[in-house]
Structure 1
């Protein structure tokens, strides 16, 4: 078993899929944003507000180094910008959870905690800027990914099954 790294735009469902994978496999799931919040004892939105995005990206870099050295046989769900870490390929198999921008926003808005989910993502405050960010990131996600899973209109359970099947073929 190798690490599996989930990348994709914020709100695409990385955390939901990670939880499903861990239920149906031997992988445990960890989330880079959760690790950062624990390290800083602060929510991501507050880290951005108090210290800025550059500081947050440095925290991500520190987590990436730790993951490479210390974490094995784990499913790693990442924040939307984590793909920029230069050691991702050394950490594990990179799986892109892919969906069109409008479908991601619709998915978030359908969630029972939609207001809370939007609030916790500082880069989704302005949807026009978020769309520009999505358009910038998506080609990089596609280039980096070993495996791409289109998650549009699929349940986290179906995505998890597809992911595990594709990872087995990849190893």
Structure 2
């Protein structure tokens, strides 16, 4: 007998773990973390003088200062994400959405693998000026939509993690 076409397929639950987070939960959590990233970016632009330069010279940018601000921002964001994921499995966005990162093998907090996950997510952002970082971020972020059965993005696969409800 074939499956009922009106019943959506169920995502397998990992033994002993809560259900997987939905793509919507993950997206909303990432939006919150993007606000955190935006605050870091603003501080870095201010600290390097890039923001003041643009205000003093409308329509122009000091690309050296902007690039330095970008590198600082992504390094700090990597630290934020890596530290939070390695300790609790949650960033501020994940806390707000009540989801967490878990090791695929046993559901534990990622520990060192939290740093791997953060590196694969954050560090390509340093390549945004050459569009490589932007393309990678888009592909990385949407890849969870076609990954079956665990809805893992590329940074999840690199770290061997999944995102579950907390």
- TM-score of the pair, normalised by structure 2: 0.31
Q: Which has the higher strand share?
A: 1
Structure with higher Rg: it is 2
Which structure exhibits the higher relative contact order, with contacts defined as CA atoms closer than 8 Å and separated by 6 or more residues?
1
- TM-score of the pair, normalised by structure 1: 0.31
